[in-house]
Amino acid sequence: MPPRVFIIGSGSCQWANDLIECDPGFFPCGNSTECVAQQFQCDDIAHCQNAADESGCAIADGWLAHFDYVHPVSVGETKALNECALAQYPDGCVCSKLTQLDCSEFNLNEVPPNLPENITRLYLKSNNIVNIGSELLANYSSLVYLNLMGNRIHEIAENSFRNLRNLKRLFLSENNISRIQTGAFNGLSGLHWLFLNDNKMRTLEPGIFLGLEGLYWLDMRNNEIRDLQEGEALKDLKSLVWLDFEGNDIRSINARSFAGNTSLTVLILRNNSIESIERDAFTSLGTLVELDLSHNQISHLPEGIFDGLHTLEILRLRNNPLFSLPVDVFRGMKKLVDLDLAEIIIGNINVDMFQGLTRLEKVAFDKFEYCRYAPHVRTCTPRSDGISSFENLLKNVVLRVFVWTIGIITSVGNLGVLVSRAFMKAENKVHTVVVINLCTADFLMGIYLLIIGTHDVKYRDNYNQHALEWTNGITCKVSGLLAMISSEVSVLTLMFISLERYFIIVYPYSFQRIKTRRAIMVLAFIWFFGTLLAVVPIIPVDYFGNFYGSNGVCFPLHLHEPRMRGWEYSVVVFLGINSTAFVAIALSYTGMFLSIRKTRRAAAQCGMKGDMAYAKRFFFVILTDSLCWLPIAVLKVMSLCNFIISETLYGWIIVFVLPINSALNPILYTLSTTSFAMWFMRQLKRGKFKTSGCYIGSNVDMSELRGRIEESGAFTSYTNMPKRASFFLPTRKHHVSSKVEAIPAVSSSVPSRSATTTAMTNNIRPLHTINEGEIVDNNSQSQGNHQLRRTPIVRLCDLME
């Protein structure tokens, strides 16, 4: 592939820059007084009246024509195109332009003999020529152009072209040349172009370029050269202007490699294996305009490596294993126009690196976030990271709408639960404390979303000018801190709720309900641990870098850069801790459902309808956790396995997926519960707040003890029995004890008080009142020697409150 020359519109735009002053982030429209913002430069839409914002944006592939324009070479072409002035030539060859002969793809084994001496251009491409020598070309002294591309030449002997004193361009590309003898180009003092690309040369022996004093373009692309031999071979090319070594195997560049080529303006070293470059490697190249070091193995650039390159306009360092750059690496490059730093991680990037590049018009980075360090540059790529763009913190309009929608829902929902819980004096104090803590954590997520939405509005249409201030500022760090605390405290609290319920339901005799004091201690530890996880990355150590400021939304999922600074910490948090918590929650609710299903199936009047009620509730609990953490875990693993993840996905994860638990937890753990429904209906009925809860004392009017069947139809009963005996499994045979009180099972499907009374009468279950958690079946008693049949009691409030 031929080298591509970036055609810089340095005429109009730069001249205008010297005359017209625009605000920071704006650039003049050519020589007019109009200014256009950075984000509208080179976006394929003309915003300037003279369309100057779209000039100088393309890559030109007509590189030969451009070079010939800069360094014109006369080859004596005539005006006649189809006329031929050659007396004789082989049949099948095409003669044109009087003295031009094309014998390409003619299956020739040697240079045709006895051609007219006045021939000036000879094309012998894609033949089977193996040998060339001075005797074969001795009579063609008028040649100015010789093309031998695509033959089978493997060696160039000494003095092979000594009689071609007028030759200007010589093409020996795409052969099998592995050796050039010393003095092979003797006599070609007027040669300007020499193309030796796509051959098999491994070394450049001293003296092979002797006689090429006038050469200014040498193309050595795609050979196998490993060592430049201290520049011994190149020192004979005093007039060399363009040198291309792309696609070789060069390992190092030292101070003598190009010491003799002081006229170089273009040096291409792309796609080699360069690992080290000495500090003074380019010191002698004071006229260099373009330097391409991209696609190498350079891991370190010495201080002052580019000192002295005051005329350099194009510098390409793309795709090198660099993790930092010297702070003053671009010092003195006053004329630099095009800078390519793509596919490079610049860990120490700062504004000072680019501040002195006053003429820089185009810069390419690996990350969109780097563009914030060069706000004065006309065109910066990439133009977005999928979340933010040059114009807005949130690129997508839908994201802008939903960050407010979900933020408000999350904040208001959790705040409402906190207020209502303050008035709901439920007897299950532990559950209330846990839910209050959960809502507090989820409330922080709503605050985080509102902070992001507020700053999106604040920086609307001009984000890149404030991006550095925002991502490095305290507000971004605090918002990320809030989101991380909310995320971790919420998931750990949900795990605590799930495990506590699991042990109470599945092991009612061996596990005692946790006391309020101990619950508070556990929750305090959860808050401490969650806060610690969030605060640690703020510690000013190199390992974390700008952990929260790596993107505009200040949340460190690191999906697109899975191995950036602090990536191991991110993996531990989002894959280790959160995935473990999710698995624990899912297994706990699955175990609870199986235990309840087994117990209810043993009862006479409990069937599939009740089972489905619990299954639905548990399914939605697990589903919301899955929707939140499963996509994040999967995407995190995919990114670590180097799968390409869409840039736009990050924003949707932050706005939609991450807050889903925080938005739905108030519904799952409070608003959809029986106790809240009863409390809320009471307030509507009475018009004032009263003490209420899942358990109702015996002094309450029985007309108010109307159990609410969940929307799914779950059986629910409320009794005036002791606290933990709130839901008993019915038995078929009974013996009435004097100590037994009637236990009404009231269905919300009963429309009237009389119907309720009837239902209560029909559902009396006489039982011996014994230790909590035990039910006596009178059939199991024998002649005064009572044998207790112990049955686990499923406490509905443990599930539904």
**CATH code (residue 619):** 1.20.1070.10
Please answer whether residues 144 and 164 qualify as being in contact, where contact means their C-beta atoms are separated by less than 8 angstroms: no
727: left (phi over 0), alpha (psi -120 to 50) or beta: beta
* pLDDT of the residue at 29: 75
Alpha-carbon gap, residue 697 to 701, rounded angstroms: 9
Does residue 581 share a domain with residue 535?
A: yes
Structure tokens at 68: 């010939």
CB atoms within 10 A of CB 347: 13
The answer to whether residue 595 sits within a structural domain is: yes
Please give the helix or strand (H or E) that residue 338 lies within, else none: strand 338-340
Q: Is the predicted pLDDT of residue 137 greater than 80, yes or no? A: yes
CB atoms within 10 A of CB 728: 18
Q: Is the predicted pLDDT of residue 609 greater than 70, yes or no? A: no
Sole residue written with tokens 């109702």: 696
* Mean pLDDT across 682-688: 70
Higher pLDDT, 556 or 28: 556
- The 8-class DSSP code of residue 750 comes to -
The answer to whether residue 87 sits within a structural domain is: no
| DSSP assignments along 208-276, one per residue | TTTT-TT--EEE-TTS---B-GGGTTGGG-TT--EEE-TTS---EE-TTTTTT-TT-SEEE--SS---E
Span of 108-117, 485-494, 548-557, 705-714 with lowest mean pLDDT? 705-714
Does residue 700 share a domain with residue 654?
A: no
* pLDDT of the residue at 501: 83
Nearest to 158 by CA among 122, 120, 208, 206: 208
The answer to whether residue 490 sits within a structural domain is: yes
Please answer whether residues 286 and 261 qualify as being in contact, where contact means their C-beta atoms are separated by less than 8 angstroms: no
Alpha-carbon gap, residue 722 to 510, rounded angstroms: 19
Does residue 756 share a domain with residue 665?
A: no
Q: How do strand 179-180 and strand 169-171 relate by DSSP bridges?
A: unpaired
Instruction: Output the domain CATH number for residue 15.
Output: 4.10.400.10
Please answer whether residues 254 and 230 qualify as being in contact, where contact means their C-beta atoms are separated by less than 8 angstroms: yes
Burial of 65 (0-12, 13-18, 19+ CB in 10 A): exposed
* pLDDT of the residue at 56: 61
Tens digit of each residue's pLDDT (9 = 90 or more) over 559-580: 767 677 778 888 898 888 988 9
* pLDDT of the residue at 590: 85
402: left (phi over 0), alpha (psi -120 to 50) or beta: alpha
b vs e for 463-480, b when ≥16 Cβ sit within 10 Å of the residue's Cβ? bbbbbbebbeeeebbbbb
CA 508 to chain centre: 48
Q: Is the dihedral of CA 551, 557, 559, 565 positive or negative?
A: positive
- Residue 47 lies in domain: 5-65
Q: What is the CA radius of gyration of the chain?
A: 41
Q: Is the predicted pLDDT of residue 510 greater than 90, yes or no? A: no
Structure tokens at 208: 């092979």
- In the chain the first and final C-alpha atoms are separated, in Å, by 71
Does residue 481 share a domain with residue 426?
A: yes
- The 8-class DSSP code of residue 389 comes to B
Alpha-carbon gap, residue 140 to 360, rounded angstroms: 49
Alpha-carbon gap, residue 730 to 791, rounded angstroms: 11
Q: Which of 24-28, 347-351, 682-686 has the highest mean pLDDT?
A: 347-351
Helices and strands (DSSP H and E) totals, the chain:
16, 22
Span of 55-59, 192-196, 303-307 with lowest mean pLDDT? 55-59
Q: Is the predicted pLDDT of residue 499 greater than 70, yes or no? A: yes
The answer to whether residue 239 sits within a structural domain is: no
Q: Is the predicted pLDDT of residue 236 greater than 80, yes or no? A: yes
Span of 372-381, 655-664, 737-746 with lowest mean pLDDT? 737-746
Structure tokens at 191: 């040669």
Helix (H, G, I), strand (E, B), or coil: what is residue 27?
Answer: strand
Alpha-carbon gap, residue 540 to 551, rounded angstroms: 18
Does residue 658 share a domain with residue 758?
A: no
* pLDDT of the residue at 720: 32
Q: Is the predicted pLDDT of residue 3 greater than 50, yes or no? A: no
The domain total for the chain is 3
- Which amino acid is it at 341? L
Q: Is the predicted pLDDT of residue 737 greater than 80, yes or no? A: no
Higher pLDDT, 641 or 611: 641
Q: Is the predicted pLDDT of residue 294 greater than 60, yes or no? A: yes
* pLDDT of the residue at 540: 83
* Mean pLDDT across 765-782: 37
Backbone angles phi, psi at 601, to 5 degrees: -65, -25
Sole residue written with tokens 């590189």: 63
pLDDT bucket at 616, cuts 50 / 70 / 90? low
Does residue 658 share a domain with residue 775?
A: no
Tens digit of each residue's pLDDT (9 = 90 or more) over 13-44: 343 344 456 665 566 776 666 776 655 566 56
* pLDDT of the residue at 772: 34
Does residue 700 share a domain with residue 646?
A: no
Please answer whether residues 653 and 632 qualify as being in contact, where contact means their C-beta atoms are separated by less than 8 angstroms: yes
Higher pLDDT, 533 or 137: 533
* Mean pLDDT across 255-277: 95
Structure tokens at 231: 């520049």
- The 8-class DSSP code of residue 574 comes to I
Higher pLDDT, 622 or 479: 479
Alpha-carbon gap, residue 622 to 589, rounded angstroms: 8
Higher pLDDT, 245 or 704: 245
Q: Which of 41, 65, 89 is the last residue of a domain?
A: 65
The dihedral over CA atoms of 604, 607, 613, 614, expressed in degrees to the nearest 10, equals: 60
Helices in 657-724 by DSSP H: which ranges? 660-666, 674-686
Structure tokens at 266: 């273009």
* pLDDT of the residue at 25: 54
Q: Is the dihedral of CA 58, 59, 64, 68 positive or negative?
A: positive
b vs e for 165-186, b when ≥16 Cβ sit within 10 Å of the residue's Cβ? ebbbbbbbbbbebebbeebbbb
* pLDDT of the residue at 791: 39
Alpha-carbon gap, residue 132 to 140, rounded angstroms: 13
Q: Is the predicted pLDDT of residue 735 greater than 50, yes or no? A: no
Does residue 793 share a domain with residue 732?
A: yes
Nearest to 328 by CA among 347, 356, 300, 309: 356
Backbone angles phi, psi at 195, to 5 degrees: -110, 115
- Residue 147's DSSP bridge partners are 123, 171
Alpha-carbon gap, residue 332 to 315, rounded angstroms: 13
Tens digit of each residue's pLDDT (9 = 90 or more) over 362-415: 999 988 889 989 988 888 999 888 888 888 999 889 999 999 999 999 999 899
Q: Is the predicted pLDDT of residue 299 greater than 80, yes or no? A: yes
Q: Is the dihedral of CA 34, 39, 43, 45 positive or negative?
A: negative
* Mean pLDDT across 174-201: 94
Q: How do strand 217-219 and strand 242-244 relate by DSSP bridges?
A: parallel
pLDDT bucket at 440, cuts 50 / 70 / 90? very high
Alpha-carbon gap, residue 783 to 36, rounded angstroms: 101
The answer to whether residue 542 sits within a structural domain is: yes
Distances (CA, A) of 736 to 309, 742, 765, 767, 791: 104, 10, 8, 6, 19
Helix (H, G, I), strand (E, B), or coil: what is residue 746?
Answer: coil
pLDDT, the chain, mean: 77
Q: Is the predicted pLDDT of residue 767 greater than 60, yes or no? A: no
Rounded to two decimals, the pTM is 0.67
Does residue 638 share a domain with residue 771?
A: no
pLDDT bucket at 687, cuts 50 / 70 / 90? low
* pLDDT of the residue at 199: 97
The answer to whether residue 703 sits within a structural domain is: yes
* Mean pLDDT across 435-446: 91
CA 543 to chain centre: 19
For residue 655, what are the contacts with CB-CB under 8 A and spacing of at least 6? 399, 402, 403, 406, 449
The answer to whether residue 382 sits within a structural domain is: no
Structure tokens at 418: 């906190």
Helix (H, G, I), strand (E, B), or coil: what is residue 51?
Answer: coil
* pLDDT of the residue at 53: 65
Please answer whether residues 49 and 33 qualify as being in contact, where contact means their C-beta atoms are separated by less than 8 angstroms: no
* pLDDT of the residue at 65: 46
The answer to whether residue 266 sits within a structural domain is: no
Structure tokens at 15: 């001249």
Alpha-carbon gap, residue 225 to 204, rounded angstroms: 8
* pLDDT of the residue at 36: 66
Does residue 562 share a domain with residue 519?
A: yes
* pLDDT of the residue at 497: 84
Does residue 668 share a domain with residue 591?
A: yes
CB atoms within 10 A of CB 663: 23
Alpha-carbon gap, residue 501 to 508, rounded angstroms: 10
Alpha-carbon gap, residue 102 to 92, rounded angstroms: 9
Sole residue written with tokens 């007027």: 190
* Mean pLDDT across 682-702: 49
* pLDDT of the residue at 795: 42
* pLDDT of the residue at 311: 94
SS (H, E, C) 762-783: HCCCCCCCCCCCCECCHHHCEC
Nearest to 434 by CA among 179, 605, 655, 670: 670
* Mean pLDDT across 482-503: 89
* Mean pLDDT across 658-681: 77
Span of 16-20, 280-284, 350-354, 507-511 with lowest mean pLDDT? 16-20
* pLDDT of the residue at 76: 47
Does residue 631 share a domain with residue 530?
A: yes
Structure tokens at 621: 């609990």
Backbone angles phi, psi at 37, to 5 degrees: -65, 160
